[in-house]
Amino acid sequence: MNNSYYLTGLPKELHVLDFGLFTVHANGRIIGICGFLIKTDAGENVLVDTGFPRRYALEAAAAARDDNLGVFGEVLVMTENNMPAEQLALSGTEVSDIDLLIMTHTHIDHVGGIADFAGAPILISSAERSLDRPLYFGAARPIKWPDREYRLLSEDTVIGPGFRVLHVPGHAPGQLALEIDLPHTGKVVVTGDAISRPSEVDEGFEGSWDVEQAKASGARLLKLARDTDAFLIYGHSPEQWPRLKKTPEFYS
């Protein structure tokens, strides 16, 4: 493993960031769009994912038309307050305070602000970064890779004490998940879109980039959570989303 990945401090706070609400046309499912801020006891700040592009907060209908997103669903709630900088500000964190940006993958609802953190290296799967452009949505590839320091991984990687990034491809070629240890909450597994919601397991991960890999990754994460008695946070669970603490509240 590359020691340049390492953080020095233990995770002390996990903030869930509210990047808005979206409805999926096929089943009417309303999902929260989430990111995460992880603060360590050494004063480090790690941002995980960046939500939709800011233009969806300014002109959602036009943006969705340009991206053909309407074939999949519709933005329900997305204001400037649901953008990364504004969500970070709720916890007293500035864009310039971010020490590391982790991209779990690069679909439209995760990659929108990837270029907004000029001072932070980007930790991402090598499989995802090897693509010509971020995945975005459908055939649309409007975002270029920003000129940044990229820290690439292709396997599970400990990036600091009590902080492991898990390589769980399937939903996307470079899907990542997180395993962190908090002082009071204990172990937390953030599945990202490797398991978007509990029902996805019974549905067989239909629509994934690679269904068989998605099944294997999902089973692995569920076993990890069972074996470690972890608090499991799903990527887009309609049932769990309203119950999660949102910043400025946090898990500690």
Q: What pTM value is reported for the model?
A: 0.96
pLDDT in tens, 82-99: 999 999 999 999 999 999
Query: Which tokens is 138 given?
Result: 């459908």
Nearest C-alpha neighbor of 74 from the set 140, 21, 17, 135 = 21
pLDDT in tens, 133-158: 999 999 999 999 999 999 999 999 99
Mean pLDDT of 186-215: 97
pLDDT of amino acid 204: 96
> The tokens 């068989």 sit on which residue?
212
pLDDT in tens, 220-231: 999 999 999 999
Q: Structural domains in the chain?
A: 3-243 (3.60.15.10)
pLDDT of amino acid 6: 80
CB distance 135 to 111 below 8 Å = yes
Alpha-carbon gap, residue 55 to 33, rounded angstroms: 15
177: helix, coil or strand?
Answer: strand
Alpha helices in the chain (DSSP H): 55-58, 60-67, 84-90, 108-111, 126-129, 199-202, 211-228
Alpha-carbon gap, residue 205 to 184, rounded angstroms: 33
Residue 55 DSSP class? H
pLDDT of amino acid 77: 95
CB distance 185 to 14 below 8 Å = yes
